[in-house]
A and B are shown apart, each in its own frame.
Chain A
Amino acid sequence: MLDMSTKVDPMTEIRTPKMAAKDVNVFYGDNHAVKGISLDLYRDEVTALIGPSGCGKSTFLRCLNRMNDTVATCRVEGNITLDGDDIYDPKIDVVQLRARVGMVFQKPNPFPKSIYDNIAYGPRIHGLARERADLDEIVATSLEKAGLWNEVKDRLDSPGTALSGGQQQRLCIARAIAVNPEVILMDEPCSALDPIATAKVEALIDELKGRYAIIIVTHSMQQAARISQKTAFFHMGDLVEHGDTTQIFTAPKEERTRDYITGRFG
């Protein structure tokens, strides 16, 4: 499927989306944070969600792996599917869903454990490794994929919190990769990093593209332009415009999008 989709012209082929949101509404108590959003997300693409603060993009992102469940006042309506299955169906298991839809947060949040245990945590709880050697392999592979292996292979026992900010964020990406997800959600993953670390994380996202459906929330329009194939512009809880990144940034159809990307507000 991966091979097929890369060969076919995306404009003509009818692909099945990895995840699809249909008419999603989110409420925080009385606050209507996300208003009737429909959006398809594909496996071989990086989709960027942009928009001013408080536009609902992070809230929408957190619906995709049901992290909003942890907020008591939050209510989600509408339909979100993963490979065609409704993820809000009571029969769907949140624990498995979150393993399939990984997440990377705004601030790097390594556990106060060793680098090895940080990566091994997910595989251990999900029982992905039968023996120690399997686990070692998962840890090594995940760190390699996150481009961190060479930097930390000699100090896997040192605490994850001792790494630099950029390394911590890549450790968190490796941690998400280790449970073998199909989708990775990133909530402004670079906003707490310096430019050099940001460049490294962006390069990593580019490498991971194609293996995972990646949805990234970002404040930086340059970043969205650099790393994403699709861009969705949110404003006040509405999905204003959605399409190819180049189109959104060069020829936006909506006035609000144009105003935002030209810096009139936001």
Chain B
Amino acid sequence: MTSAAIFLTLVLLAFIAFVTVRQRSLASVSGDTSKLHSLPRHYGYYAAVCALIPGLLIFFVWVITGKNIIEGLVISGLPDGLSAQYQEQASLVLNRIRLAVENPASSEKHPDILAAAQQFHALYVRGIWATFVLAVASGVGGLVFANYKTNPDFRARNSFERVLTILLILSSVIAIITTVGIVASLLFESLRFFQQVSVVDFVFGLHWSPQTALRADQVASAGAFGAVPLFTGTLLISLLAMMVAGPIGLMSAVYLTQYASARTRKIAKPVLEVLAGVPTVVYGFFAALTVAPFFRDLGEAIGVEIASESALAAGFVMGIMIIPFVSSLSDDAITAVPKSLKDGSLALGATRSETITNVILPAALPGIVGAFLLAISRAVGETMIVVMAAGMQPNLTANPFEAVTTVTVQIVALLTGDQEFDSAKTLSAFALGLALFLSTMVLNVFALRIVRKYREVYD
């Protein structure tokens, strides 16, 4: 028995419900559908929903909580020796049990763990069968219920549509659940991190070296979790990116809206869109393979030492990536400036550049500021370019020729490869994620508000 089988059984049951109840509704009026309140298929839909929903709910409860409950049971049933160990090394014991369950032929020798694995397996099989029986029973129950309710006066369509409305609302709520899920998971894991490392050390600490002891009995360095070098590194790279994307993006928006012919626009806009559509991993590869060596050689040629994983290379390529973003948002801001202002300036004998710098850009300024803020938030959250082109050394520096590391690079470094769920090292990634989420969120909300206010002025 597998989860997929339960799901398929439920779908089959829903189909049976649809067919039988539809037939029954037809039979109840001996084929004269005008006597029915709703169309026969509505009775069928209603029955299918009745058969499917309760079973699905039971199924989801099992998928989400099943293994957790069983693990709890298994852990509480462990012999005392292991439980004591469990207090200290929760994930380790659990992982060994899990491994033993998944791979019975594994090298696990500890008898208690093997026993626990067997118990886990037995409980799991029992649980999944229980779920199957419960889900199918509720499905059949739903079918019988719908069958019983089917008579010519039953307003099947309205009932079915009520269910549909609930489904619509549930779908919309998923967006909220996602946000809540993000906040909750980041907060929860971060709080566990902050039990081990103080918030002040994290936010203001100048030293980042998250290597902690692998086993509890090792007397190794406790690791340092001062995130300031990561924040400054992120800022430095974002700043460099904006120094590339800001002028180029804004000036190309100005050119395309104010100077370019329709034909030039027709060519240039898709080029910018393609630039926006290139996956970030491709930019990262380009940065690491082409741009970083280029800057390093350039530095050698002019006598400046530029690290091969310099902030400059990562920032520069990130800037290229953000150009289309800045340009299209600035384009929107500039086109939102009423034409009458531009005409007023031109009619006074201003040249186009005078009109742009004195009238159009000041009028579009809030929109452009919003565009820049959104672009910065994009740069702060960008991952692949910096993972591939920026370094891992948490240098506290403002020198773009040196290697720096960023928040996103560290999250990736901390969470790829072998990891345990409870160590400060792993948990610190979530604290970094929380910082990242909050800062981009603030930037976005702020930027969107500026842009919206600005739109209201001219609408």
Contact = CB atoms under 8 A, between A and B. Distances in A.
Direct contact of A and B (CB under 8 A): yes
Interface of A: 65, 67, 70, 72, 94-99, 102-103, 105, 107, 109-113, 121-122, 125-126, 172, 175-176, 179
B346 A109 contact: no
B346 A70 contact: yes
Interface string B345-384: 1111111001000110011000000000000000000000
Contacts of B350: 95, 121-122, 125
Nearest to A103: B347
Task: Identify whether the interface residues of B are mostly helix, strand, loop, or mixed.
Answer: helix
A98 B347 contact: yes
B348 A122 contact: yes
B261 interface: yes
Counting chain B CB atoms within 10 Å of each CB, the highest count among A94, A95, A113 belongs to: A95
Nearest to A185: B347
B340 A109 contact: yes
Contacts of B363: 111-112
Contacts of B345: 111, 121
Nearest to B347: A103
A179 B363 CA distance: 22
A70 B343 contact: yes
Nearest to A97: B349
Counting chain A CB atoms within 10 Å of each CB, the highest count among B262, B338, B342, B347 belongs to: B347
Contacts of A122: 348-350
14 contacts: A67-B343, A95-B350, A97-B349, A98-B348, A102-B347, A111-B358, A111-B359, A121-B358, A122-B349, A125-B348, A125-B349, A125-B354, A125-B358, A179-B348
B343 A99 contact: no
Contacts of B346: 67, 70, 98
B164 interface: no
Contacts of A102: 347-348
A97 to B, nearest CB: 7
B265 to A, nearest CB: 11
Interface in B4-37: none
B338 A109 contact: yes
A97 B349 CA distance: 7
Given A72-B261, A112-B362, A112-B363, A95 B343 contact: no
A125 B346 CA distance: 11
B344 interface: yes
B337 to A, nearest CB: 9
Q: Report, nearest first, the 7 A-B pairs whose CB atoms are least far apart.
A: A99-B349, A103-B347, A98-B349, A109-B340, A122-B348, A109-B344, A95-B349
B133 interface: no
B442 interface: no
A67 B342 CA distance: 11
B341 interface: yes
A263 B332 CA distance: 44
Contacts of B351: 95, 125
A212 B351 CA distance: 24
Nearest to A118: B344
Contacts of A175: 344, 348
Counting chain B CB atoms within 10 Å of each CB, the highest count among A65, A109, A121, A175 belongs to: A109
Given A72-B262, A125-B354, A65 B340 contact: no
A105 B344 contact: yes
Nearest to A100: B349
Nearest to B341: A109
Given A96-B349, A105-B340, A109-B344, 19 more contacts: A72-B261, A95-B351, A98-B349, A99-B348, A102-B348, A105-B343, A109-B343, A110-B344, A111-B359, A112-B341, A113-B362, A121-B345, A121-B350, A125-B349, A126-B349, A172-B344, A175-B344, A175-B348, A179-B348
A97 B346 CA distance: 11
A95 B358 CA distance: 16
A59 B221 CA distance: 81
Counting chain B CB atoms within 10 Å of each CB, the highest count among A67, A96, A97, A103 belongs to: A103
Contacts of B359: 111
A126 B261 CA distance: 28
A65 to B, nearest CB: 6
A216 to B, nearest CB: 15
B433 to A, nearest CB: 41
B16 to A, nearest CB: 65
A107 to B, nearest CB: 6
Nearest to A73: B262
A168 B256 CA distance: 31
Nearest to B262: A72
Given A72-B262, A113-B362, A125-B354, A176 B340 contact: no
A111 B340 contact: no
A179 B349 contact: yes
Contacts of A67: 343, 346-347
